[in-house]
Chain A
Amino acid sequence: MYYLIILLVYAAVDAIACLGLSLQFGVAGVTNFGFIIFQAAGAYVAATLALPPDTANGGFQTYLGGLSLPFPLPWIGAAVAGAVLALPFTFLFGRRIRGDFAAVGLLVTAVLLNLLVTNFKQLFNGDAGVALVPAPLAQGTFVATSNGYQYGFAAAGLVLAGGVYWFVRRITESPYGRSLRAMRDNDKIADSLGKNVLALRTGALVTGGAIAGLSGAVLVSLIGAWSPAAWSYAETIVLFTAVIIGGAGNHIGAVLGAVLVPVGFEEITRFITNNNPNLPPNLLPSLQWVAIGLLIGVFLWLRPQGILPERKRVINLAAAQAGPDAQPVPAAAAAVRERPPGHSEYDDREILRANGLSRDYGGVHAVSGVSLSIERGTLTGLIGPNGAGKSTLLALLAGTEKVTSGQIVYQGRDVTPLPAFRRARAGLVRTFQLASEYKRLTVLENLISAVPGHSGDSFLGAAAGRWLWRADEERAVEKAGDLLAGFGLTGQANDYAGDLSGGQRRLVEIMRALMAEPDMLLLDEPMAGVHPELARKIGEALRLLCERGMTILMVEHELAIMDEFCDPVIVMADGSVLATGTMAQLRDRSDVVEAYLVG
């Protein structure tokens, strides 16, 4: 009976930990190979907050702290410790480092912190670890070994796990959670659409760290001791295996994984003994690890989505919006942000100016010394042969690539040092040449995710709950519904964007950019792979947007499109601007014709 209760508490602890990991890995795509150190930190902090000073018990162990704090302060302290410990690691998850490098950095950290704690006895009693941690609320006859206490502890653990599930779900199903998932699917795109990727990753690391810390507190309160052997880096692998098997991104799956892997494998086999003298002495524990390794490989190959895959978030569009006569033109026009005329003191005609922009890759000058000026309300074309530097120029203007030298002035403000997401928030939004949808978000979610200023798109907004952001959400859904109807994609609204055809994905990308309410749109070959008839419709929609005050700079290879819609047109070759003018003017210039029109 005692054993069963212990098992229940272990299940609760592992479920809490797996929920934290599921939020980080499954939802936010942050691969934290050092997850166990956050649980360990929580356990140590909870232990030393609850323990008396280390001179007690004859001073047989040494540790920092020893504050004899009453329950629940040690548990709260553990969660805070897990959250605070996450902060120094956020630098690993900036925009500059590949996700797998950051994961390796955390793995190495986990191994070495374990070594450090093992050897530095003054901190947490070194190798032996801290022991005699007081059981919470154990007083008088209500002692830790009594049946009543054990039942109570198990019940409290399960309730706590339920609470963590409720909280993690609340975060995940909010607009903030949607942003986390968008970042997981494609962080570069999220950045270009105004998401602060570093802040989102920090949020996931800190929240997951707090949850891991809490799980450590529950565990240490149950077993009363905590030592480096309890948190080897391999324990992280066990938790990862649980989340992968259960279903990354599905929190019920994470709980299921916790029951199957850490509880099922580790705790139960702990009680199977190897009595056969013919077998090697540690065959069973070894096989246990081999099985974990096999599970990882087999599941990632056969069922990478896990037993319970991530749920599809279906959002119902009001049926009325799907009128058959809907057209992209008026729908797109709705995306233009209303703004009072003459609202600033700078030259209102010019929205964007580049002064001597250059970008080198190694020794290659992809863009060199480009200066240009874009007038408000124009639909400017950008043409040039392959390798002319068109896409690089777009990237420099949007901030997804850093300039080597030069200056970019947008709306009268020097935006050169601003990262892409800040420029996007200022209304300068780009699209990409290659398909860039969030694959595991539905079409509708792709669109809604780009809406700026959504009250649910922050950690606090998400934690506050649906009542706070319902109105914003409904407005966003309605607007997205109009766009989808206009572009004829209402029927695909709840399909995963990754399942669409190439042409449909282009449309999703344009619509998503429009949802971001740009003042200036940088489009990289928006009509590539789109049916010619639809391409014309898109062209018309873009022209109408410009008439209503939006400014568009568009890279396009199709000269017929340029002829019909774009004025002026900028010609680039070898990283520089060759000429600017109407298509008719350009056709008269021999250098342009030579560089591009003829080939």
Chain B
Amino acid sequence: MSLLLASIGFGLITSAVLAIASVGFTLQFAVTDVLNLAFAAVMTAGAFTAYLVNQAGYSIWLGLVAALVAGAVLSVLLNYLVYTPFQRRGSAPITLVIVSLGMALIIEFGIAGIAGGVGVSYRMGQGSTVKAGGLVLTTVQLVIIAISLIVMAGVHALLRYTKLGKAMRATAANRMLARNCGIRAGRVIGITWAVTGALSGLAGTVFAIDIGTFDPTSTDIFLVLILAAVFLGGPGNAYGAMLGALVIGLSTEVSAAYIAADYKYVIAFVALLAMLAVRPSGLLGART
């Protein structure tokens, strides 16, 4: 029983981190039409920015803000300097996927070259542990979950109640039509890169806090989890990504406790391929 509760606790934290990243990834794809495989590399860049701030003697929470900015700036630059020129030229979606893989290599190993590829940790306390029922969580872990919940609520409010969110949804549904309706699609896409980039910087930092010690390649496997969550919920569907993150996060950690920790990612893999085979539009359906 306590094993189950403990693994659910781990699962909740993984889900919380995963949800931030998955919602960012799926929104990015929906609005910009780039399946950006450099997303996890941008997460790494955010995590290392936070590390630099942290090393300079500031709190990790200030680092978190810096990571947000770094992720947004890097993503906007990627779009402005790389992806948009390719899209303007009419490159096929698959070309952009390959380009994004190239960008992932440049960012990830650029950091590895500078940082030296060794594992690093933030200097921070974990706070006191909180026990609720059989769940044991540290204050920091609770903060991560709270951040995630705030982000989810924020994304919901953005999409549902703001003009920008409406414009994003319109652009996602049909870019040409949105443009003809007077929506400045280029600007909406630029802002989307900034917002989703900030989310990836944030996700990278909370991911690094969660796993404790990280290096530039730590997010490689995490990208697989993001893709699994995104495809499970339906690519381009923000609420689907939230649901997908919850399912993947819980199932990997619970299966790690009961089957074997070494195989915990297999369930994400099976989920992803099964969805692609049976229902490519995802659990919550979506644009195709």
Stretch with Cβ within 8 A of B (4 or more), from A37-45, A102-110, A459-467, A552-560: A102-110
Stretch with Cβ within 8 A of B (4 or more), from A291-299, A393-401, A472-480: A291-299
Q: Considering only CB atoms and an 8 Å cut-off, how many residues of chain A contact the other chain? A: 45
For the complex of A and B, list the 9 residue pairs with the smallest distance between their C-beta atoms, beginning with the closest: A296-B102, A293-B105, A286-B113, A119-B262, A293-B106, A289-B109, A112-B269, A293-B102, A280-B116
Tell me which residues across on chain B come within 8 A of A288, comparing CB atoms.
109
Contact of A290 among B93, B105, B231 (CB under 8 A): B105
Interface residues of B in 198-243 (CB under 8 A from A): 220-221, 224, 227-228, 231, 235
Stretch with Cβ within 8 A of A (4 or more), from B1-9, B16-24, B60-68, B272-280: B272-280
Bin chain B's interface residue count.
35 or more
Contact of A282 among B37, B102, B112, B280 (CB under 8 A): B112
* Contact call B263/A287, Cβ cutoff below 8 A: no
Tell me which residues across on chain A come within 8 A of B272, comparing CB atoms.
105, 108
Interface of A, secondary structure class, is helix
* Contact call A103/B117, Cβ cutoff below 8 A: no
Contact of B280 among A101, A107, A109, A292 (CB under 8 A): A101
**Interface flag for B35 (CB, 8 Å):** yes
* Contact call B105/A280, Cβ cutoff below 8 A: no
**Interface flag for B144 (CB, 8 Å):** no
**Interface flag for B283 (CB, 8 Å):** no
* Contact call B265/A237, Cβ cutoff below 8 A: no
**Interface flag for A300 (CB, 8 Å):** yes
**Interface flag for B266 (CB, 8 Å):** yes
Q: Please name the residue on chain A nearest to B85 by beta carbon.
A: A301
A384–B91 CA distance with the chains assembled, in angstroms: 35
Tell me which residues across on chain B come within 8 A of A301, comparing CB atoms.
85-86
**Interface flag for B188 (CB, 8 Å):** no
A104–B235 CA distance with the chains assembled, in angstroms: 12
Q: Please name the residue on chain A nearest to B81 by beta carbon.
A: A297
A96–B95 CA distance with the chains assembled, in angstroms: 19
Q: Please name the residue on chain B nearest to A92 by beta carbon.
A: B276
Contact of A101 among B92, B116, B276 (CB under 8 A): B276
* Contact call A108/B227, Cβ cutoff below 8 A: yes
Q: Could you give, for residues 67-106 of chain B, a 1 whenever the CB lies within 8 Å of some chain A CB and a 0 otherwise?
A: 0000000000000001001100001111111110111111
Tell me which residues across on chain A come within 8 A of B181, comparing CB atoms.
none
**Interface flag for A314 (CB, 8 Å):** no
Tell me which residues across on chain B come within 8 A of A280, comparing CB atoms.
113-117
Tell me which residues across on chain B come within 8 A of A358, comparing CB atoms.
none
Interface residues of A in 230-248 (CB under 8 A from B): 234, 237, 240-241, 244
- A237-B101, A296-B101 known; A112 vs B106 contact (CB < 8 Å): no
Interface residues of A in 244-294 (CB under 8 A from B): 244, 280-283, 286-290, 292-294
* Contact call B280/A96, Cβ cutoff below 8 A: yes
Contact of A97 among B104, B105, B110, B276 (CB under 8 A): B276
Q: Could you give, for residues 304-326 of chain A, a 1 whenever the CB lies within 8 Å of some chain B CB and a 0 otherwise?
A: 10000000000000000000000
Tell me which residues across on chain B come within 8 A of A120, comparing CB atoms.
262-263
**B37 CB, nearest partner CB in chain A, Å:** 8
* Contact call B221/A111, Cβ cutoff below 8 A: yes
* Contact call B97/A119, Cβ cutoff below 8 A: no
Contact of B106 among A97, A108, A240, A290 (CB under 8 A): A290
Tell me which residues across on chain A come within 8 A of B221, comparing CB atoms.
111, 115
Q: Please name the residue on chain B nearest to A238 by beta carbon.
A: B105
Tell me which residues across on chain A come within 8 A of B91, comparing CB atoms.
300, 304
Q: Give me the interface of A with B, judged by CB distance under 8 Å.
A: 31, 91-92, 96-105, 107-109, 111-112, 115-116, 119-120, 234, 237, 240-241, 244, 280-283, 286-290, 292-297, 300-301, 304
- A91-B277, A108-B272, A300-B86 known; A287 vs B113 contact (CB < 8 Å): yes
* Contact call B105/A237, Cβ cutoff below 8 A: yes
Contact of B93 among A98, A115, A116 (CB under 8 A): A98
- A105-B272, A281-B116, A290-B110 known; A99 vs B94 contact (CB < 8 Å): yes
**A257 CB, nearest partner CB in chain B, Å:** 14
Contact of B97 among A104, A289, A292, A297 (CB under 8 A): A104
Q: Please name the residue on chain B nearest to A102 by beta carbon.
A: B276
A468–B86 CA distance with the chains assembled, in angstroms: 43
Contact of B104 among A244, A281, A286, A293 (CB under 8 A): A293
Tell me which residues across on chain A come within 8 A of B276, comparing CB atoms.
92, 97, 101-102, 105
Sample (13) of A-B pairs whose CB atoms are under 8 Å apart: A31-B97, A97-B276, A100-B93, A105-B276, A108-B269, A244-B98, A280-B116, A286-B113, A289-B112, A292-B102, A292-B105, A295-B102, A300-B99
A112–B263 CA distance with the chains assembled, in angstroms: 9
* Contact call B97/A304, Cβ cutoff below 8 A: no
Known: A98-B280, A293-B104. 8 other contacts (CB 8 A): A92-B277, A97-B276, A100-B97, A102-B276, A108-B269, A111-B221, A293-B102, A300-B99
Interface residues of B in 257-275 (CB under 8 A from A): 260, 262-263, 265-266, 268-269, 272-273
* Contact call B105/A103, Cβ cutoff below 8 A: no
A111–B228 CA distance with the chains assembled, in angstroms: 12
Interface centre among A92, A108, A287 (most CB of B within 10 A): A108
